[in-house]
Amino acid sequence: MVLGIALLGLGFLMAQKIWAQYGQPPQPSIWAVPGSVISTGSAVTIFCRTPPGVTIARLTNDKKWFDHTLQGEQEVCEFSLQNMIHSNAGFYHCEYHDGNEWSQNNDKLELVVTGVYMEKPSLTVDSGPQGFSEINATLHCHTHGSFNIFILCRDGNASFPQNCSRQDHNTFLISPVSPGHRRTYRCFGSKKHNSYLWSLPSDPLEFSIPEPPDLLDNSLENFIRLIMAIIILLGLGALLLHAWKSRREPMEPSGALS
């Protein structure tokens, strides 16, 4: 019995040493191409990166999972979804099995499907200039449906949810907006019970704030004009002075008649 307790203690110490040296299996990384916001019927490829020596990679969400057997030194595997439908939306995780245990799956991918709701919102801008240093812009996402979530995506790029902001009202305040600001926006409608399903996108709205006039360039231009005006005035003054002197000089007497 004493020997058994000693062996258990030795095993515990060895496990602690191994845990301290290697720790938990590293988390896999996950990303999507062309992006994680995909229109209905389009294709998307999800990539999982794993450490060397992994035998099985798994892509999973709340509804199903897909397994992929890795060959040799392969560290990146891909899972293709050829026809996006509403049931494909949600959070995805990558897991892998290294022959001993499954990894953790804290790294996650949010996959959004657009065009599930066929209404197309419209996007308008209402800006109130307050000088060149700061301008508040208000964008309105107009819909006729029963949406209670509104999404605004900047740069016209809705490929990734991090490029978009969501809120429960259709007015988006952009402040401050610096001069020279030039961006394209789109908006979508969605519903709280399933925020991964979006409407069709609005037409792109290009919003830009003009640059202020360059005061340095204007000052230089005005200075050059002033110099030119002075030169012209001096020239005119010299001509007038010469003409005045010419009129004041006495005329030479004419020669005597023979």
Contact criterion met (CB below 8 Å) for 197 and 190:
yes
**Which CATH number is 161's domain given?**
2.60.40.10
Written as one letter, the residue type at 252 is E
> Coil, helix or strand for 112?
strand
Specify whether 106 is located in the same domain as 125.
Answer: no
Bridge-partner residues for 96, per DSSP?
Answer: 57
> Coil, helix or strand for 219?
helix
Q: Which of 95, 115, 135 is the last residue of a domain?
A: 115
218-235 residue pLDDT tens: 667 777 888 888 888 888
In the prediction, which pLDDT does 13 show? 34
Host domain of residue 201: 118-208
Contacts of 114 (CB under 8 A, 6+ apart): 37, 38, 39, 40, 158, 188, 198, 199, 200, 201
Quote the number of domains for the chain: 2
Contact criterion met (CB below 8 Å) for 122 and 136:
no
Q: Which of 52, 80, 115 is the last residue of a domain?
A: 115
16-63 residue pLDDT tens: 333 333 444 555 689 999 989 999 999 999 999 888 888 888 899 887
Specify whether 103 is located in the same domain as 126.
Answer: no
Which structure tokens are listed for 199?
Answer: 């409407």
Specify whether 88 is located in the same domain as 57.
Answer: yes
The residue ranking higher by pLDDT, 254 or 120, is 120
163-208 residue pLDDT tens: 789 999 999 988 766 666 678 899 999 999 999 999 999 999 987 7
Provide the mean pLDDT of the chain. Answer: 77
Specify whether 132 is located in the same domain as 169.
Answer: yes
Report which of 168, 120, 134 is spatially closest to residue 148, judged by C-alpha positions: 168
In the prediction, which pLDDT does 4 show? 40
Residues making up the chain, counted from first to last:
258
Phi, psi of 26 (to 5 degrees): -65, 150
Specify whether 79 is located in the same domain as 123.
Answer: no
Which regions of 98-201 does DSSP assign to beta strands (E)?
108-117, 122-129, 135-142, 149-154, 164-167, 171-177, 182-191, 194-199
Contact criterion met (CB below 8 Å) for 123 and 114:
no
